[in-house]
Amino acid sequence: EKISLTAGRDGGLQNMEVHGLVKVKVNDETYGKIKVNVQNNDKKGIQLQTHPNVDKKLFNASSCIALKNQEKSFPLNTDVGVLKWRFQTQDEDMMPLQINCWPNDTGSGCDVNIEYELKQTDLELHDVTILIPLPSGVGAPVVGDCDGEYNFDSRKSVLQWNLAVIDANNESGSMEFSIAGHPDDFFPVNVNFISKNSYCDLQITEVQNCSDDSPVKFSSEVVFYVDRYEIV
């Protein structure tokens, strides 16, 4: 799954899209003729679409992914997209992570307070980076309170706020810093993260042989990542 999001500096969401794709990869030709059972726990109202070669009626009836022609096998050692979905919203409560950046003009510069809040507490976000642009040529910011870690990239004039994990136990935090500049200098703020949780809450529960419904050993990997996530 990948997310593209643009939010306003007032905290409101301008647009958000999540695109997801289930891929099947068969590593043993003995198990080419299979069906994949999906558990759809989505309550957000995502739009699901099966690949043209997938039996759409079967999927709609039982959330089971199988080829229309069950005499055919999935290709060997190839990632095959079988199900995709899309979710679009302007409801700020649907954001995974809300960022508020508050620059206060002091006359001689700005005191900036930036905070995050995890809006979807079932998610666990890893390797979170929040990038705040800074005016160039005015030196390093003076950082006060900071949850997590930070570093100043003088070459790019960017303050990078790093958080190893944001989850239900660590759902909010903030950082404060001061530097010469004007309030508009600190936007757009860019966010990056990766998660092993599905935003739309789809899970692969079982893989079976088409011929006799016997279980097939499988592994599944979920990756939810950022395509674009900015506060403008």
Q: What is the pLDDT of residues 30-56, one digit of tens each?
A: 999 999 999 999 989 999 999 999 999
- pTM tops 0.85, yes or no: yes
User: Are residue 119 and residue 60 in the same domain, yes or no?
Assistant: no
Total structural domains within the chain: 2
Does 206 lie in the same domain as 185?
no
Give pLDDT, residue 107.
95
Q: Distance (Å, rounded) from C-alpha 14 to C-alpha 230?
A: 10
Q: Is 232 inside any structural domain?
A: no
Residues 112 and 153 reside in one and the same domain? yes
What tens digit of pLDDT does each residue of 52-105 get? Answer: 999 999 999 999 999 999 899 999 999 999 999 999 999 999 999 999 999 999
Q: What are phi and psi of 60, to 5 degrees?
A: -65, -30
* Residue 58 amino acid letter: L
Residues 185, 9, 200, 160, Cα dihedral to 10°: 30
* Inside any domain, residue 185: yes
User: Quick one: 78 and 102 in the same domain?
Assistant: no
pLDDT at 11: 82
Q: Quick one: pLDDT at residue 180? A: 97
* CATH classification of the domain holding 159: 2.60.40.1170
Is residue 124 included in any domain, yes or no?
yes
Q: Select from 15, 46, 8 the least CA-distant residue to 201.
A: 46
Q: Helix H segments across the chain? A: 56-62
Residues 149 and 74 in one domain: no
The Cα 61–Cα 58 span in angstroms is: 5
Mean residue pLDDT across the chain: 97
